[in-house]
Structure 1
Amino acid sequence: MSENVHEEIEHLCQGLSGAADRVAEEVADFSGEQMTFTRDEPVWARWSAEVQLRHMACVPCRWLHGLFREGLEGQG
């Protein structure tokens, strides 16, 4: 990989390192009603905070599944 790619990876790692804590702080005081609140407009409001969190949590699982699927399926 080029030096630029390595620098970009480092930059992304630093920027994302506290993302989980920032999200947790943002929704820590949300009630159940606030976590499930949605609206039709704007389009991005159609997903509640709960659905957005579930979606974010799925990304690493799907990524890992993609990496290890063949080996896991081969083992039954």
Structure 2
Amino acid sequence: MGPPWFDRELISMLRRRNRAWKHYCTLNAGYDEYGLIRNQCSAAKVTKRRAFEERLAAEAICVLEKENQDST
């Protein structure tokens, strides 16, 4: 398990990245492929985390607005 924004797609990408790294370490070949996969994983992590945080902030704002309406 990982952070809440880690979904199946991202976990699959990370496993693919790890396999590419292992392939590079054992055969000393394929670093370019590993680099591409690593960069895709990094970009996906940033995108998914940002979306998660924005969704969390939007939910918090909705809760606060509802509490303000209920108190008046």
Give the shorter-chain TM-score range: 0.3 to 0.5
Normalized against structure 2, the TM-score is what?
0.37
Give 1 or 2 for the bigger CA radius of gyration: 2
As a proportion of its length, which structure holds more helix?
A: 2
Normalized against structure 1, the TM-score is what?
0.36
